[in-house]
Amino acid sequence: ETGVTQSPTHLIKTRGQQVTLRCSSQSGHNTVSWYQQALGQGPQFIFQYYREEENGRGNFPPRFSGLQFPNYSSELNVNALELDDSALYLCASSFGRANEKLFFGSGTQLSVL
Amino acid sequence: AQSVTQLDSHVSVSEGTPVLLRCNYSSSYSPSLFWYVQHPNKGLQLLLKYTSAATLVKGINGFEAEFKKSETSFHLTKPSAHMSDAAEYFCVVSGSNDYKLSFGAGTTVTVRA
């Protein structure tokens, strides 16, 4: 186990709703990255938070937003859910902004109906 | 920009036979390359990484990969497959000190008894 925990493990929402996903990073890590993995595809980078500030962002619309708290846990918020947002959302923690060693959680499976 | 192409979407091998997973990369500068494995209902786990040191990289569970700049390839191999190797494998590229990972589409490995 990596020590990165995500909640909830599964979630069902309807189109237009808002959702918040949570991630608790491994002890000692100050960076959290979020990825979206659609069915049958590789994960796609959403954004990264380093010491409570957004450090980089992938090609996702502004309705995808995030937060990192002083204890380095993180939230991913998605507004105005669309059917295509159905995916596995992965959180990864690390120490520092580079990607030499990421520890991934098991993910939150989001279904949008 | 960097990207990876995994040349096989599915690989099926018999237990005890060699495994070869093929990956080509595209990068405008010296990349960092990784292989990750994803077992069902589990998070992504780092198998090995290349970061401009030795071109032959040894990882966990008997896996290794060879970086070939002339062929822009980073193929993953294992001499003898085990039933527990059945999983999804991702080839991943990142720029040095980059904040994001770019994943391939994945290769599903099945191991026949």
Question: Percent of chain B beyond pLDDT 70?
Answer: 98
CATH topology of domain B3-112: Immunoglobulin-like (2.60.40)
Question: Three-state DSSP class for A83?
Answer: helix
Supply angle C-alpha A18, A24, A25, rounded to 5: 130
Inter-chain touch A104–B99, beta carbons under 8 Å: no
What was the pLDDT predicted at A2?
66
What single letter denotes the amino acid at residue A3? Answer: G
Question: Three-state DSSP class for B62?
Answer: helix
Question: Is B53 in the A-facing interface, judged by CB distances under 8 Å?
Answer: no
Beta strand B87-95 with B73-78 is: unpaired
Note the pLDDT tens digit of each residue in A43-53: 999 999 998 99
Note the pLDDT tens digit of each residue in B16-41: 999 999 999 998 777 889 999 999 87
Q: What's the CA gap between A32 and B108, in Å, rounded? A: 27
Question: Is B43 in the A-facing interface, judged by CB distances under 8 Å?
Answer: yes
Domain boundaries, chain B: 3-112
Residues of A whose CB is below 8 A from B89: none
